[in-house]
Amino acid sequence: MTEEDKKDPAIPALVTMGHPKLALPAKPVKRPMLGTNSFARRLDLLHDAMEEYSGIGIAAPQIGWFERFFLMMETTRPETEDEEKEQELLAWVNPEIVDFSEERVWAWEGCLSVPGLRGWIQRPAAVAVRGYDESGDRVSREFTGWNARIFQHEFDHLEGMLYPYRVKDARHLIHEVEMLNKADWPEDWPAPGARDTDYGETWSEDD
C-alpha cells in the first residue's frame, strides 16, 4: 500500500510548486464566513492536512483553496531545562504584516509544496501582525525568532510567494538528503552560518 493509499480521502492533495495559482495572490475570506460551522470544518480539514503531511504550518492555497487563511504552530521555548516547550495552534484569516524589524536573520526553510528541498533564506527577525481568528475576532501579535519565520513563510503563500523565489543565490537551495551531510560541508558552504545552523534555528550575520 502506498502513502497515497493510506491518506484520508477527505484530505485534499498538496498543491506543489509550478501550479500557476500557487504563484498568485489569494482572495480574502469574506467576513460573514468567520465563526460559521462551515468555516470551522474547513479549518479542521486544513489541520488534518497539516498533520497528514507533517507540517508546522500550512496555508489554504497549499491544498487548493486559494483564500487568505493559514494555520501555524507557535512554540514557546522553555526558560529552564526542567520545562518543556509549549506549542499552540493558531489560525490566521486575512492577515497583514504591519511592521517588521530592521534586523535580518537567516534560517533553513522547507515547504510541503516544495518537496525534497531546503533553502537558506533571509527574513526580518521580528514582525508585528494583525488579522482575524477563526471566530472573526480581531487579533494583533508580535512574533520573534522561529515563530516570526513561520508566520512570514505562511503569509508568503497568501501572496503567491514560495521560499525558493527568495533565495539570494541558487546554491542556497539544497536537496534534503544532502542536509544529512552538513557536518562534512566546508565552513562557509553554501553561505556563512549555513553549515552550523540547524533546522528550527536562526542565524544573524552579527553572531
Strands 138-144 and 173-175: unpaired
Of 4, 154, 159, 176, which residue is the catalytic one? 154
Contacts 24+ apart (CB under 8 A), 74-80: 74/143, 74/147, 74/150, 75/146, 75/147, 77/145
Q: How many CA atoms lie within 13 A of 172 on its CB side?
A: 20
d(CA 150, CA 31): 24
Q: Where are the alpha helices (DSSP H) in 76-144?
A: none
Residue 79 falls in the annotated catalytic set:
no
Q: How many residues does the chain have?
A: 207
Q: How many CA atoms lie within 13 A of 137 on its CB side?
A: 6
Please report the DSSP string for 25-44 in residue order: PPBPPPGGGTTSHHHHHHHH
How wide is the angle at C-alpha 171 spanned by C-alphas 108 and 201, nearest 5°?
15
Task: Assign 113 to helix, strand or coil.
Answer: coil
Active site residues per annotation: 154
